[in-house]
Structure 1
């Protein structure tokens, strides 16, 4: 992000033109932008007044939204003390009528303070405790919390104070919005896996030191396990640096046709739908999208706090241990979870430091070997799963439409005179 609010377009519309809606996604991974993409697709499918979209921040996820008509993207200052005046100027100059914000509590609070009705999308409500309360925009015009397999009591205590809480289903989209597969449908029908997709997200999180630590351990282990399982073709996608992805592919252990490269949201969903199996760092949006497409999915080791929950919920819903754990001398998950009562950042610090030490330590090869064995074992166990849509079915798939309806409801409310 830049030090000043800067626009990447000078396209301004008068107040008599389409209603201007601001879009904001958290600068953490690609899940937020995937949700914004799903909401924009849902808006296209409903009768709505003319709308103009402008993006705020979301630098990491902008490429995923390239297929949508976003008039301009604006950066925000790095200095938190300058956030509020920068947002006020953005609202004034762009004539912002409403906003949809995914997981960026600070941006949502600044928009609300600037008088903008704001729909806040919280896809990780199970994560919060009293230590996170101050970071959540509980006074959002509509607070859309995504349903979950489980909701710990500490998160419910916090969300009980949301002014306009609305529980929504999974905020996801599929390629060309396919008809959902029937419950209980089995994707693989017993055939061996030949085409795999490996997806890594969350590698540009604000407080993450070296984004190469996690993939340097996990990618070689995953590729070796896939080759041992008989996979012939694999693509590595996600927000890891392009030069790093190529360096991590060892032709002596990888499947014969291994490619790398980031994919836009639509292209990712199409590639996912065409894959026999997905190996992914357990971001919730990706797990739900894979479930909607009934693609067999194995969770790679978690790289942040929410992914511990996501991997557990995924295995619980599918009735099989489908996630790969870190060796206990790298990270004990319960130790990280115990720190969340003090706020998410405390747990993240432990997780990031643990992975970093493993990546540069003398025993990093032993860690890779343990992860390879864990991936291979999970792949074998995956053949016994009957319903790959169980997690998605539990949560539902109508969240994007529900968020779109919340926005349209906000826009239908007359502006104060």
Structure 2
């Protein structure tokens, strides 16, 4: 059995009256857990059967789910041969009746194999090609693919074989503030005064040293923000240890610079209160910023999906608002050319290029180039009128749609039976 790493157990008699749903997020970054958090919030707003939640994997993103009641958390083994029996035992011991899985194809497949009806959330459908087919749970009970501003034909060919395919809008948490209250304290002038820097995806599998990316990007971003007149900045994300603090050079950073991870609700509050966001282009963060109409600049991509996300963001806003790696570090088209062989091949190139830049003789030159790129993007941002264009293009009702899919899978509670 996996280690039970956190327990919030209810009274056993009360637990027996609840319908147990398993939650799984990919061990890649915080985006999948942010989506789970949004779905759980949507379930609270519905007339649902009494539900109880247990979590599998999602180790990186568990802090984002702290505001929700999850009875037990289980780690899953890295060894593929141990995954199926581990999942089977969790399902048996916890009485799991259904599951919501975000981007973890292996976990979804294991749950389906033991008879658990599974809603799979795919927020990156544009990414897939024939080389990824084997890793996708195309036989999921409901395969919720998130809408995108562009869908390459190769991904459509793969998803056509998902019988439970259902297109959903952006799976994001809706702000607690009303439409009229969002960004009420945000300055409309330039330069910006309060900034948020967000870095996610730094603990992805096969990444190697998660410090390489922030060593190159954080000093460059801080120097550019200070040059643009920013006085206050907070650095958030899943950075290793106290790395962010060690990367702050007081001589060039904005005068009030703080660091530290933020829970999902706290992140949205901080996002709504800032004048500008600088972020590694994770899709959930870009969509949430768009929903709050926050000016956003994309930092250089950390992985394959972020190349697409940054391009889609600039395309929707009709302005070049993303910072590119120097060509001698990474040529994006080289990474995209490897996509037909599967995402892993492209990731190997991207991670290797960032690692080489962080450890090479040209590290300082790379950082200076990135600083100039951030500063130029900040200046160009003054010409953008509608910061919500990307989010508007894909809609914001995805969390509710996934919640409804789960409730549809569960059906009337008196007809539910435990999986074998």
TM-score range, shorter chain: over 0.9
Residue 242 of structure 1 aligns to a residue whose secondary structure is coil
- C-alpha displacement at 1:177, in angstroms? 5.8
TM-score (norm 2): 0.95
Contact preservation (8 Å) 1:276, 1:295: yes
Task: Give unpaired runs (5+ residues) of structure 1.
Answer: none
Superposition map of 1:161-200 within 5 A = 161-176=161-176, 178-179=178-179, 189-200=188-199
Residue 254 of structure 1 aligns to a residue whose secondary structure is coil
Residue 282 of structure 1 aligns to a residue whose secondary structure is coil
Contact preservation (8 Å) 1:298, 1:378: yes
Q: CA RMSD in A?
A: 1.7
In 1, the alpha carbon distance for the partners of 2:100 and 2:179 equals 26
Residue aligning to 2:112: 112
In 1, the alpha carbon distance for the partners of 2:200 and 2:7 equals 28
Deviations 1:133-164 (A, max 9, x none): 00000000000000000000000000000020
Contact preservation (8 Å) 1:305, 1:344: yes
Superposition map of 1:65-104 within 5 A = 65-104=65-104
In 1, the alpha carbon distance for the partners of 2:187 and 2:208 equals 38
- C-alpha displacement at 1:191, in angstroms? 4.3
Deviations 1:72-103 (A, max 9, x none): 11111221110000000000000000000000
Contact preservation (8 Å) 1:236, 1:259: yes
Task: Give unpaired runs (5+ residues) of structure 2.
Answer: none
* Counterpart pick for 2:3 among 1, 6, 9: 6
- C-alpha displacement at 1:320, in angstroms? 0.1
- C-alpha displacement at 1:243, in angstroms? 1.5
Residue aligning to 2:136: 136
Residue 54 of structure 1 aligns to a residue whose secondary structure is strand
Superposition map of 1:14-29 within 5 A = 16-29=16-29
Residue aligning to 2:146: 146
Superposition map of 1:262-341 within 5 A = 262-341=261-340
Deviations 1:226-270 (A, max 9, x none): 000000000000000131111101101100000000000000000
In 2, the alpha carbon distance for the partners of 1:360 and 1:99 equals 42
Q: Classify 1:188/1:323 alpha carbon distance in 2 versus 1 (closer, same or farther; 3 Å).
A: farther
Deviations 1:178-217 (A, max 9, x none): 43899xx9x7533431000000000000110000000000
Residue 380 of structure 1 aligns to a residue whose secondary structure is helix
In 2, the alpha carbon distance for the partners of 1:87 and 1:211 equals 29
Q: Classify 1:354/1:63 alpha carbon distance in 2 versus 1 (closer, same or farther; 3 Å).
A: same
In 1, the alpha carbon distance for the partners of 2:262 and 2:337 equals 35
Contact preservation (8 Å) 1:181, 1:293: no
Contact preservation (8 Å) 1:188, 1:296: no
More deviation in 153-162 or 168-177?
Answer: 168-177
Residue 249 of structure 1 aligns to a residue whose secondary structure is coil
Residue 371 of structure 1 aligns to a residue whose secondary structure is helix
Residue 338 of structure 2 aligns to a residue whose secondary structure is helix
Residue aligning to 2:363: 364
In 1, the alpha carbon distance for the partners of 2:146 and 2:368 equals 36
In 1, the alpha carbon distance for the partners of 2:293 and 2:275 equals 10
In 1, the alpha carbon distance for the partners of 2:252 and 2:203 equals 27
Q: Classify 1:224/1:10 alpha carbon distance in 2 versus 1 (closer, same or farther; 3 Å).
A: closer
- C-alpha displacement at 1:16, in angstroms? 4.6
Asked if 1:56 corresponds to 2:53, the answer is: no
Paired residues in the alignment total 411
Contact preservation (8 Å) 2:54, 2:73: yes
Residue 236 of structure 1 aligns to a residue whose secondary structure is strand
Residue aligning to 2:408: 409
- C-alpha displacement at 1:6, in angstroms? 2.1
- C-alpha displacement at 1:22, in angstroms? 0.3
Superposition map of 1:224-263 within 5 A = 224-263=223-262
